[in-house]
Structure 1
Amino acid sequence: MSEKLHVAILWHMHQPPYEAPDTGKIVLPWVRLHAQKDYYDMALAVQRHAKMKCTFNFVPCLLDQLEQVAQSTYEDRFTQLSRPLPHTLSPEQRHNAAKELFSVHYPTMIHPFPRFRELWEKRQNSTNQNDFSVLFTDDELLDLQMWFELAWSGPTLRKDPDVEQLINKGVGFSQDDKEFLSAKQREVCRGIVPMLQNLSERGQIELSTSPYYHPILPLVVDTNIAKVANNNTKLPRKRFNYPADARNQILRAIQAHNHRFSRLPMGMWPSEGAISDTVLAMFAQQRISWVATDEHILWKSLPDPIPTVDWLCRPWKSHGVALFFRHRQLSDRIGFTYSQWDPAYAVADFVKHLHEIRKQSTLADPIVTIALDGENAWEYFPDGAIGFINGLYDVLSTDLRLIPTTFSEYLSKPLQDSFKSLLHVAPGSWIDGNLNTWIGDDHKNVAWSMLAEARRCFDDVCSTYNELLPPNLEEAYELLLRAEASDWFWWLGDGHTSAHDAEFDQLFRSTLIQIYRLLRLPAPPTLFFSIASADSAQDFAHPLHFTRPEINGRYDRFYDWRGCPLVTAHQGAIHQHYTRVSTIQVAIGTTGLYLRLTGNRPASEWFSFPITQLVINFQQPVLFRVHITRDIAHIEHNSAHAESDLQHPLTFLDNKLQHAIDDTLDVEIPWVFFTPASLNSGFPVEWYLEWLGANAPIERFPVSGNLSIHISGEENIRTDWIV
């Protein structure tokens, strides 16, 4: 039994770059919201416990954005909905405000506040879930704007007497109230970095860092490493293999940390705890003293693993870098379990586990590593976790057998326990000890191939220069590093989803598109389509006959469509409250493909606010789009039909398509847009539908994946027709 246990807590703070590279606009608000709700209070909790010590790990690109948030000129897409006077908002903005300003965790951030809950219930009970533009009065919308911002205010801000008075007011807010709260929030945001600096100088916290844009370094070095981490992993079609980028992500993080805090970082939390032998050697080259990752990596790295306390709770060394392995069970209890517990019971349970570890250890200086997300878990705690955190810090500051420490402080002491060496570190991350969260899924692999192609084009352009690159290429390289961020691959495909998956998809693709612009090359047309369209297709049955239905949008020509296959909204689609299209029928003719869309309401009613147009996105055998409004249907098509020559930009063609909108929506798409070849060989056709409002997608059919039908050779089709 050990007399004492060193407790090293690492809070990891991370958000990806949310600025759209083409417009400069901030697409999502999470940096600002977590700044005013979490980052300040996390630092303040340490400041209030003079004997508490821990590590704060901030990703450099998050700190860059925190500096922006503190400026009075800062705007994001949500502030454009929450700060203006309600009567100045357009119908589309009013709809979006009612849609977006409930983006909070209902049990802890809406339900406790009667007025916020009342507004939420009104939206939930609305009979028209597709148009909120007239749902709320100006007074109601003003209250909604205020409650969204109040809900995203942290415990300290809520206890400010003036803010507390606003919470107690509850209803009937004014624009002055809103501007006052906004000023208070900026004040909190401005105080975060100075407080971190102060705590670091006092020795209460260690500030560590991560690679600049939070990339999964082993995959940046070589995507083939994913198969070493898990032999069942499906690799991308194009290999990404750029060790120089990984080194630059590390070097730039160190330089930014030194510039901001006037000292070099001693340690790093690799993005998602992802490491490999090559990555550790890179850390050693940059004189990083310690790295933290997950215990799963330790057990995979040992030839004969013995999962005991003494193996986990000790320092290890590999490639000259000290390694600390997080205690998964204890770290996850904070992140995923204690939000449902009374804070006092949660603290008692956590401390009990710490003492059990201390008693089981035979080491002189055992250290337990607790490492987890320091921002996203807290909204699930009724009090924002401040009760648990303060309670835990109280115990760690007073229990003489539990010693709160930082990793560098621990390493600076004369340790009686010798370092254990790892000759080889298994590649992997904190999630299941592998890399499959960011690669292997079809969508993720498509993204890696897109990134690899952009990186190859960058090298081709740079090869014409000797050393000094012009500014446009320097900017392009910066965007390449940004495109390597883990978040794009996290949200794509299986494993994780959010209400803003489309924005993450768009941010990734717009970054690559901007790279091509800077390279003065045409962007591949695939970048103008959602990566989600790469999902497995939903097949139609083969048509029973060859026909040419009348395009009139009415049910009076039933026999034209009899026997034509259809797909319904529930087939292969994630449940939605409402979808305009309930069925799609397909007919095959000598001149083209015919589609008939039907719904629960007449098609003539589909194009009401906020819908401006329907887009049919064809993915196979070539990429093109059909744009349909009330009055016109036309093609946006690649000027070269051949699939092998898709580097040409998409352009609008003048020719219009035959379509009709009445009971149904009927449209004919001529075969000439699918392939220049004859129909003899046959080919697959894949597509999906998107409803757009102000050029932004509002609804998709199917929700994921494509619709698909195989077009037989011309002779087979004619045989079907004759039969």
Structure 2
Amino acid sequence: MKQLNLVLLWHMHQPDYRDYVTNQFVLPWVYLHAIKDYTDMAYHLESHPKTKAVVNFVPVLLDQLDDFAQQFSTKQIRCPLLRLLATPELENITMQDRLYIFDSCFLSNHENMLQPYPAYKRLHELYQVFNKVSERELKYFSGQYLADLLVWYHLAWMGESVRRNNEFVMKLMTKNQEFNYEDRLQLFTLIGELIQDLIPRYRKLAESGQIELSTTPHYHPLAPLLIDFSSARDSQLDVTLPEHNVYPGGRSRVAFHLLSAITSHTQRFNEKPAGVWPAEGALSAALIKIMAKQDCQWSASGEGVLVNSLRSSFPDASLLDRNHYLYRPYRIDGESKDIICFFRDDQLSDLIGFEYSKWFGRDAAENFVQSLDHIYHSTPVEGDPVVSVILDGENAWESYPYNGFYFLDDLYHLLDDHPYIRTTTYRDYLASVEVNAIEALPTLAAGSWVYGTFSTWIGDKEKNCAWDMLCAAKHSFDLVMQSERLTEEEKNQASRQLASCESSDWFWWFGDYNPAHSVASFDQLFRKNLMNLYHLLKLPIPSAILEPVSKGNEWSEDSGAMRRSSSNAD
């Protein structure tokens, strides 16, 4: 009997928020997503043992989770928001710390993470009344107000599975206000326990065979562009490239990120990853060859990349009916071996990422399964279709009521008992088919899961300016590495700092279509990373790095953390 193979790939990623000179966490998003999204995603899988999925952990996220676990073990907290949560006398904190609390503790989706909680909502209303006062007058906000604000912010970021099952969290939410130091300290301890338990939970799910764990090049670089800027012209012939023609030594840098990721993954999970989800689903023929040398079995990208590749490979072929080309894997020549590539159903993935948050959970889950049923009946009778649904495992749920609890619970329940839809993993799927019989894709057009192009990361003035700054820093790095100026330890520190500078995330945020407050944070962090690199290289900091690259759009309300796959999506 024909069956539909459904692969759900949840991509877990946060860029490196650490300042390598001060050793402080500049932004709190790693631990906040850990207690909200990574805990909930593990819970739903644990609650539905028949549901299979691929969970992709970027190593730099795992590094930071390990860092937080170590902070809790040693009680040496290097994240300002966590430190303030556990500070005994909030009345006596500095004005700088007060400002940090006010700047941090209302950053969330207010509709789903503030409005449902009257006490938290009231704290926000009080702040809105007084937020135009001078810094000196901010001291009139009491220590109790600050304590309640810190507790409620962390309760709002707590996973729904924790809120429903942890008695202490229920107690705090019932108490509602006037939280004391003991309350804050217990909440602080719970956060540590949740973070320390995360990687073991996912390791256990992998050991049971329920999930496949895959990886991404270590610091999430936009690999095809590091290898060759001109690869952007595979999908955009008229794209404007940076003034530097190439990123110096880009191919070896990508090989470094990939090997580091595989080594890190193997050490953490006791097995080598079979597959690689490249940062931003960005593939190119050159990247495939690097993956093949590391014996990778599979990779994946967006639907737009497949369409561009098919047009290049078969110019006369009709691509009107995606049911005839999307729901199957393709073999891509990596010289040393073939890599099997899967391509994301952009429509289904974007429904979860952007649309279903507006629906009742059960209705959304049923609609998703009905869409799969339509694919099942529309694909050719011969062969079992494989449908890839790939998206961030953390950023969508903030837009859902209850952190997507009802949607995910209902979806997994419907899939568990479906007669001909089978959830699987890429590794299990490949083990069940004749790999050599998979159709070859002669030409792979370079591109990403966003629009099938690299326009989100390169091409406009601000993004190209950032690339030129990074190229100049890499040129300086190469010169210093060839000299005798640094010790081996200093070279290792500089190499790690460079790797963080190479993350795709910085380039994602530059542009006037992103909200100003988010752009300012990431712009500052990118430039701080470059400054730290020059500091570690013992070189003067170029004056251009002292000026913002991008300011964003103060009128934009979009969080910017996710983007639709198609530029003309409704």
| TM-score using structure 2 length | 0.90
Q: What does residue 112 of structure 1 align with?
A: 116
Q: Is 1:347 paired with 2:355?
A: no
More strand by share: 1
1:192 to 192, 195, 198: 198
AA aligned opposite 1:217: A
- Cα distance, 1:44 vs. partner? 1.7
Query: Hey, what's the Cα distance between the residues in 2 that align with 1:458 and 1:322?
Result: 36
> Once the 2 structures are TM-superposed, how far is the Cα of residue 316 of structure 1 from its aligned partner?
0.7
Of 127-136 and 346-355, more deviation after overlay is shown by 127-136
Q: 5 Å matches for 1:295-694?
A: 295-302=303-310, 303=314, 304-306=317-319, 307-319=321-333, 320-362=338-380, 363-415=382-434, 418-464=437-483, 470-497=488-515, 499-532=517-550, 574=554
Q: 1:82 aligns with which of 85, 90, 94?
A: 85
> Which of structures 1 and 2 has the larger relative contact order (alpha carbons within 8 angstroms, sep 6+)?
2
Query: Which amino acid in structure 1 is aligned with residue 154 of structure 2?
Result: E
Distance (Å, rounded) in 2 between the aligned partners of 1:109 and 1:511:
31
Matched to 2:331, the amino acid is: K
The equivalent residue for 1:93 is: 97
Cα deviation code 1:301-335 (max 9, x no counterpart) = 01335242131111111021001101000011011
Gaps of at least 5 residues in structure 1 are 536-572, 577-723
CA distance in 2, matches of 1:23, 1:293: 37
2:191 aligned partner, one-letter code: Q
Distance in 2, matches of 1:191 and 1:461, equals 41
Instruction: Give the structure 1 partner of residue 568 of structure 2.
Output: none
- What TM-score do you get using the length of structure 1 for normalisation? 0.72
* Matching residue of 2:566: none
Q: Once the two structures are superposed, what CA deviation does each residue of 1:628-666 show, in whole Å capped at 9, x if it has no partner?
A: xxxxxxxxxxxxxxxxxxxxxxxxxxxxxxxxxxxxxxx
Quick one: distance in 2 between partners of 1:496 and 1:81? 29
2:271 aligns with one of 260, 263, 267: 263
- 1:472 is displaced (CA, Å) by 1.7
Alpha-carbon shift at residue 414 of structure 1 (Å): 3.2
Provide the aligned C-alpha RMSD in A: 2.1
Q: What SS is found at the alignment partner of 1:414?
A: coil
Over 3 Å counting, the alpha-carbon distance change for 1:519 and 1:99 in structure 2 is closer
**Residue in structure 2 matching 1:137, options 115, 133, 142:** 142
State how far apart, in whole Å, the 2-side matches of 1:501 and 1:123 are: 24
**1:55-74 alignment to 2 at 5 Å?**
55-71=54-70, 72=72, 73-74=76-77
Q: 1:130 to 1:246 in 2, by over 3 A?
A: farther
**Amino acid corresponding to residue 175 of structure 2 in structure 1:** K
Q: Which moved more, 1:430-439 or 1:515-524?
A: 515-524
Distance across 1 between alignment mates of 2:46 and 2:510: 38
* Runs of 4+ residues over 6 Å off in structure 1: none
Unaligned runs of 5+ in 2: 557-570
Deviation at 1:498, TM superposition (A): 5.6
Q: Deviations over 1:387-422 (max 9, x none)?
A: 111111111111121101000000001359931111
CA 1:208–1:173: 2 relative to 1, 3 Å? same
Q: 1:416 to 1:438 in 2, by over 3 A?
A: closer
Report if the CA contact (8 A) 2:516-2:554 is conserved: no
Q: 1:460 to 1:416 in 2, by over 3 A?
A: closer
Q: State how far apart, in whole Å, the 2-side matches of 1:130 and 1:340 are.
A: 39
Q: CA deviation at 1:176?
A: 0.6
Aligned to 1:154: 159
Preserved CA contact (<8 Å) 2:235 2:308:
no
Counterpart of 1:34? Answer: 33
**Aligned partners of 1:142 and 1:174 also within 8 Å:** yes
- Alignment match of 1:182 (pick from 188, 197, 211): 188
Counterpart Cα distance in 2 of 1:575 and 1:248: 40
Q: Give the 3-state SS of the residue equivalent to 2:490 in structure 1.
A: helix
Query: 1:513/1:394 Cα in 2 relative to 1: closer, same or farther (>3 Å)?
Result: same
Could you tell which deviates more after superposition, 218-227 or 103-112?
218-227
Cα distance per residue 1:654-705 (max 9 Å; x no partner): xxxxxxxxxxxxxxxxxxxxxxxxxxxxxxxxxxxxxxxxxxxxxxxxxxxx
**Equivalent residue in structure 2 for 1:253, among 245, 256, 261:** 261
Q: Is the 8 A contact 1:36 1:188 kept in 2?
A: yes
Query: Deviations along 1:467-496, whole A, 9 cap, x unmatched?
Result: x97322232222212111011111122343
8 Å Cα contact 2:4/2:386 also seen in 1? yes
Structure number with greater Rg is 1
> How much does 1:127 deviate?
6.2
Cα distance in 2 for partners of 1:514, 1:99 equals 25
Aligned pairs, how many? Answer: 536
Q: Percent identity?
A: 36
Q: For 1:95 and 1:413, how far apart are their aligned partners in 2?
A: 57
Q: CA deviation at 1:441?
A: 1.7
Aligned CA distance change for structure 1 residues 407 and 574 (closer, same or farther; 3 Å): closer
CA distance in 2, matches of 1:199, 1:99: 37
Matched residues in 1 for 2:20 and 2:67: separation?
Answer: 15
* SS of residue matched to 2:493: helix
Tell me if structure 2 keeps the 8 A contact 1:505–1:530.
Answer: yes
Match of residue 565 from structure 2:
none
Which amino acid in 2 is paired with 1:150?
L
CA contact (8 A) 1:240 1:448 kept: no
User: 2:38 touches 2:198 (CA, 8 Å); kept in 1?
Assistant: yes
Residues 262 and 127 (structure 1 numbering): CA distance in 2 closer, same or farther, change over 3 Å? closer
Secondary structure at the residue paired with 2:437? coil
CA shift for structure 1 position 123: 1.5
1:11 equivalent in structure 2: 10
Q: CA deviation at 1:244?
A: 0.6
SS in 2 for 1:238: coil
> Which residue identity does 2:273 align to in structure 1?
P
Higher helix share: 2
> Deviations for 1:6-32, whole angstroms, at most 9, x for unmatched residues?
110000000001001221110000000
